[in-house]
């Protein structure tokens, strides 16, 4: 983490991480940009012990999430976008924060939306100075098709 990043609030760093990680996903999943995506960046920000509650209720551990993303490299032809909206801070203490946001995806002309709550803790070795500890996603609009 850079010295400039260290001076930013925990909410600002966590918000930047949400946006940056989803930018990585687009690069990683789209065939035309997958070669420039750095998977190690994703591994570095997923904390040991990370857990995710997927929108369908399935609980995934860190290894399952890493494996799923790893094998999904370059699986989209180009019609894939993610936008992050309505980022808000939830509960916070000195080195931990809950950040809530809405993720909208478009893939092959189909749209989906989900509300997410993510727990971050500080990490001096992570690009934005925070690492993902827990993620819970809930469908706002179930994907079509």
Q: For 2-11, write each residue's pLDDT tens digit.
A: 556 667 899 9
pLDDT-derived band at 108 (thresholds 50, 70, 90) equals confident
Under 8 Å between Cβ of 71 and 65: no
* Distance (Å, whole) CA 36 – CA 120: 26
Q: Which positions ≥6 away from 77 have C-beta within 8 Å?
A: 30, 31, 108
Which strand (E) or helix (H) includes residue 64?
A: helix 62-71
Quick check: pTM over 0.85?
yes
Mean pLDDT of 61-78: 95
Token pair 């609030």 is at which residue? 9
Predicted confidence at residue 3, as pLDDT, reads 58
């Amino acid at each position: 983490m850079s010295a400039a990043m260290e001076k930013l609030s925990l909410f600002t760093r966590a918000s930047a991480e949400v946006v940056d990680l989803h930018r990585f996903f687009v690069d990683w999943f789209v065939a035309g940009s997958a070669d420039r995506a750095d998977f190690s960046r994703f591994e570095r920000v997923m904390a040991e012990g990370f857990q995710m509650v997927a929108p369908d209720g399935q609980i995934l551990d860190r290894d399952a999430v890493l494996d799923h993303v790893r094998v999904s490299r370059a699986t989209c032809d180009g019609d894939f976008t993610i936008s992050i909206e309505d980022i808000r801070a939830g509960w916070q203490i000195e080195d931990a924060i809950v950040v809530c946001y809405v993720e909208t995806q478009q893939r092959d002309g189909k749209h989906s939306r989900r509300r997410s709550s993510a727990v971050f803790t500080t990490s001096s070795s992570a690009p934005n100075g925070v690492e993902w500890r827990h993620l819970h996603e809930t469908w706002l609009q179930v994907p079509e098709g």
